[in-house]
Amino acid sequence: MVQERGYDLVLFGATGFTGGLTAAYLASAVPDGCRWALAGRDLGKLRAVRARLAADRPALAELPLLVADSADPVALREVAAAARVVISTVGPYLRYGEPLVAACAEEGTDYVDLTGEPEFVDRMYLRWHRTALASGARIVHACGFDSVPHDLGVLFTVNALPPGSDRLPISVQGFVRASGTVSGGTLDSALTAFSRLLPMACTARERRAAEPPLAGRRVRAVTGRPRRSRTAGAWVLPLPIIDGQIVARSAAALPGYGPDFRYAHHAAVKRLPIAVAAVLGAVVLVGLAQVPPLRRAASALRRPGRGPTERQRADGWFTVRFVGECAGRRVVAEVSGADPGYTESAMMLAESALSLAFDTLPPTAGQVTTAAALGTALIDRLSAAGLRFTVLDPPPSGPPGRFTARD
């Protein structure tokens, strides 16, 4: 890890909706002596964010501000060169994200973001993974609700299986239930991704061809089928989104997932009519995204920079239940928390960055996942911050909320 930098953390995109929430979380969570700064393209808006932080914490009145535009590679290179870890909340990442990833990869600077855009993650692997490997940078995408609860939840579940499971085939299923309100940035990112299904598939195929094959192991992210699940207590629908891909990449990087690992990712819906409506809604949204005028009209329903109110966020929640099976033994685990898209995502993103900056972690470089790069250190951080990692079956023998990670 690079040591001699002016800042431990730089938050890029601090003036956006999620960026502001992340800045507020960092203000309360950074350890004593942490050197951090806010970055963005508008100095006036950066000053306004700093003033809000300083209203509760006067010492932050002099928090450094760095001016850089996502379209200015020189300025971004300066930001990356000044930091040990850069946090990016500037999306859609397909549109705005690559120059900062490039700057961090070239400068050997660790990087985290909130993207849930598979094409962006695959494109960054193809273009910048080797550069980051050479520089020592750790490029960690999907550090919010996409895909921290799922990636670390599977790690937690695998670690809860009986000793010796890492020598046998392992199967895990994930069932997601959530309630929340989307922001304009999230809607824009989703519509952008839905409008690019063919390029997304082509980029994924190119990545698969470029990745080195696993030696003597097999890892699969499989598509389940719609059905009623007794374990989830709900109707479950396959979720072909980035979370399953991230889990599979963690499994490929971590031998503890066994010689033959399979993961299936689902949405869990209590009532059948709601499940049907969810499927129809997704089909309509994908259809709208294919027609530019309709896509722009849909995006205008909530402009980027606008998001749910504090009360709406207070009503949000999520649970992800995991069923891990190995040689006839079964573990049921769960990760749960509050508002998934914003309150908890800002916390997950900030804690991921703090973990990179301050925790003792396994040596990794290039494009890596949260489970591979941060692992149980991040589980510990998130548990301390209020996220719940629980083994439901078999009942834990130790104190509630505790777990033991296997080597």
Residues 56-109 have pLDDT tens digits of 999 999 999 999 999 999 999 999 999 999 999 998 899 999 999 999 999 999
The band of 298, judged by pLDDT with boundaries at 50, 70 and 90, is low
Q: What percent of the chain has pLDDT over 70?
A: 89
Taking the domains of the chain in order of start, what are their residue ranges?
7-144+345-377, 148-341+384-393
Give pLDDT, residue 304.
62
| Mean per-residue pLDDT over the chain, rounded | 90
Class of domain 7-144+345-377: alpha beta
User: Is the per-residue pLDDT at 340 higher than 80?
Assistant: yes
Give pLDDT, residue 360.
97
Q: Are 66 and 82 in contact (CB under 8 A)?
A: yes
212-239 confidence digits (pLDDT tens): 999 999 999 998 788 898 888 889 998 8
What residues have CB less than 8 Å from 350, skipping those under 6 apart?
Answer: 22, 25, 26, 29, 87
The band of 401, judged by pLDDT with boundaries at 50, 70 and 90, is very low
Give pLDDT, residue 14.
95
Give pLDDT, residue 396.
56
User: Is the per-residue pLDDT at 399 higher than 70?
Assistant: no
Give pLDDT, residue 398.
45
User: Is the per-residue pLDDT at 191 higher than 50?
Assistant: yes
20-33 confidence digits (pLDDT tens): 999 999 999 999 99
Closest CA to 115 of 149, 146, 150: 146
249-295 confidence digits (pLDDT tens): 999 999 999 999 999 999 998 877 776 776 667 667 777 778 788 77
